[in-house]
Structures are given as C-alpha cells and as structure tokens.
C-alpha cells in the first residue's frame, strides 16, 4: 500500500518536475546566449584594437569603430549604472532608469490594453462580415506602412489642440502599434475551428454569440496570445517614440534623447538606457507568457 502511494505521488509530481527542468533549461540557454553576445562584443573590440580599427582580411579596410567611444567595455556600462546620473546628484543611474522605465511601462500598458481591445473587436467584426473584411482590411494593412516618426508628431499636435494630457497621445501611439498583430491573429484564430464544429453548433441552434464565445474564442486564444507577445514589445517602442515629440520628461524616451546629446562624454550611459529599455520589453513579454500559461492549456499552445 505504501509503495502504491509512493508511485502515485511520484506520478503527480512528475509534471511539476518537468516544468522546473524546462524552466531551468530555458534560463541556462538565456545565460549561454548572453555570455556568447558578451564574448562577441569584447572580442570585436579586441579585434579592432589588434587591427588598428580596420576590418581584417579585406582589401577595403573599412573602419570598424571599436574604440571606447563607439563601443564601451561591458564593465564600463555596468559600472555606469551604479554611478550618479550627473554631478551634484545622489541618485544613481540605475534608479533613474528604473523609474523612467516604470513611467514608460504605464503608458505602454494602457496603449497595449486599448490596442488589444480594438484589434480583438476588429477581428470579431471581420469574421462575421466578409464584406467589411474586404472593405476595411486594406486600410488596416496600409496603416502599418506609414512611418511612426511621421504619425507621432501629428498625434501629439492633435492632442494638444484638444487639451489632452501628453501621456494620452503616447498611449494612442502604443495602441496604434498594438492593434494590427492582434487583429490579424484574432481573425485567423476565430476562423481556425473546423467547419464541422461550427455546423455542429448550428445544429444545436446556437446563436452567433454562443458560437463566438464557446467555440471561436477558445480556439483563437493561442493565436491571440502570440499576437499579444509581439504587441507587448511594440507597445513599449511606441511609448518611447511617442515621448519624444510630446515633451514628457519622465520616461525612457527623454532619457535616451538626453544621453544621446551627451554621448561623447558618457557613451556608457546611453548603452545602459538602451539595455534597460530592452529589459522592459522582455519583462512585459514575460508577463504575457505567464498569462498565457494560466489561460491556455499546454497542449493547445502554438509554441512552447
């Protein structure tokens, strides 16, 4: 009896152990890739120093720009995070950038939610109306071909004329980058159930609303979360770009712009800000991944 209970306990714990092993492998793979990138960075600098900033084995001898101004050492970038932002201030750069990242993330999160809801609504409308899909889809696609640097100032100007707070314009820009992948993947996911499944629902006199929420939406969840993971990073990009013309001084956009002005005197600060911005996108995507794990069963995920 004790042996049987032990076997049952082992079987019950096996999936949990597999998840821990999978998480450990992913963490080790991430660290391995990070170490390789660090080695390539420092190796490229060493190669530039050995060849006097010339590309080896070529007749063109193009400059590689591996000096400390163009490519600071990694330990210089990390060290800059724990130094004051500027002389006369006690706040270190890491605290300053984390505070700016939190501010930018709030703007990006609001835009992410708004854009996701708009994208989901468009997907639902398109799946129920082929006429609207044919008529509006070209405009949805064309909206993503307009350069964001041209749209951001226009949104900020319109918002100022309507007396909107500056952060609303930033969230609109984030929503603009978010809605497109959600629309496309939602439409694809809602159309993913087999025709026989839809016919079976109809045979039971199910309404369009019941077919949508009991058949189409559950089938579309893996597609939607795939789009949300993409949109999590694009919403951060939209927020950073939107902060530049809006004049917001508390986010990562202004920090990146300020450090680029003083790049010659402190290039490691700009690289540190870039790293924090990248980590913000990674953390946001990780949050969406965890939400997917809680919502979508493992066997139905598109990618594990």
Each residue of 66-101: pLDDT tens digit?
Answer: 777 778 889 999 999 998 887 767 789 999 999 999
pLDDT given for residue 7 in this prediction: 40
> Which contacts (CB < 8 Å, 24+ apart) does range 150-157 have?
151/176, 152/241, 152/242, 152/244, 152/245, 153/245, 155/242, 156/242, 156/245, 156/246
Q: What is the pTM (predicted TM-score) of this model?
A: 0.84
For residue 125, which of 200, 196, 208, 68 has the smallest C-alpha distance?
A: 208
Average pLDDT score over the chain:
84
Q: Give the number of C-alpha atoms closer than 13 A to the C-alpha of residue 99, restricted to the C-beta side.
A: 11
> Is residue 109 a contact partner of residue 233, using CB atoms and an 8 Å limit?
no
Does residue 146 surpass a pLDDT of 80?
yes
> Is residue 190 a contact partner of residue 127, using CB atoms and an 8 Å limit?
yes
Sequence-distant (≥ 6) Cβ neighbours of residue 214 within 8 angstroms: 201, 206
Q: What is the DSSP letter of 60?
A: S
- What's the CATH code, domain 93-300? 1.10.3720.10
- Give CA–CA dist 140/126, Å, rounded: 11
**Residue ranges covered by each domain of the chain:** 2-71, 93-300
Give tens-digit pLDDT for 232-278. 999 999 999 989 888 888 889 999 998 988 888 888 999 999 999 99
Does residue 134 surpass a pLDDT of 50?
yes
- Give CA–CA dist 295/4, Å, rounded: 33
């Amino acid at each position: 009896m004790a042996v049987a209970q032990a076997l049952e306990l082992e079987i019950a714990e096996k999936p949990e152990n597999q998840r821990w092993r999978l998480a450990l492998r992913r963490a080790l793979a991430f660290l391995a890739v990070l170490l390789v990138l660090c080695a390539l960075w420092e190796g490229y600098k060493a190669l530039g120093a050995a060849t006097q900033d010339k590309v080896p084995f070529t007749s063109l001898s193009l400059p590689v720009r591996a000096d400390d101004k163009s490519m600071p050492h990694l330990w210089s970038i990390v060290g800059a995070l724990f130094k004051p932002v500027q002389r006369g201030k006690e706040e270190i750069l890491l605290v300053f950038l984390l505070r700016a990242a939190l501010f930018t993330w709030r703007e990006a999160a609001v835009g992410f939610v708004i854009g996701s809801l708009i994208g989901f609504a468009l997907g639902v409308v398109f799946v129920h109306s082929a006429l609207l899909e044919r008529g509006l889809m070209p405009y949805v696609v064309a909206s993503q071909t307009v350069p964001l640097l041209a749209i951001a100032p226009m949104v900020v100007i319109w918002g100022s004329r309507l007396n909107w707070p500056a952060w609303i314009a930033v969230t609109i820009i984030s929503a603009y980058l978010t809605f497109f992948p959600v629309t496309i993947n939602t439409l694809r996911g809602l159309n993913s159930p087999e025709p026989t499944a839809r016919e079976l629902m109809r045979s039971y006199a199910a309404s369009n609303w019941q077919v949508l929420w009991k058949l189409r939406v559950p089938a579309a969840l893996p597609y939607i979360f795939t789009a949300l993971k993409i949109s999590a990073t694009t919403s951060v990009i939209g927020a950073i770009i939107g902060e530049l013309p809006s004049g917001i001084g508390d986010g990562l956009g202004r920090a990146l712009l300020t450090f680029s002005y003083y790049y010659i005197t402190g290039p490691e600060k700009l690289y540190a800000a870039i790293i924090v911005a990248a980590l913000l996108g990674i953390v946001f995507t990780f949050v969406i991944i965890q939400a997917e794990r809680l919502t979508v069963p493992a066997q139905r995920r598109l990618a594990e």
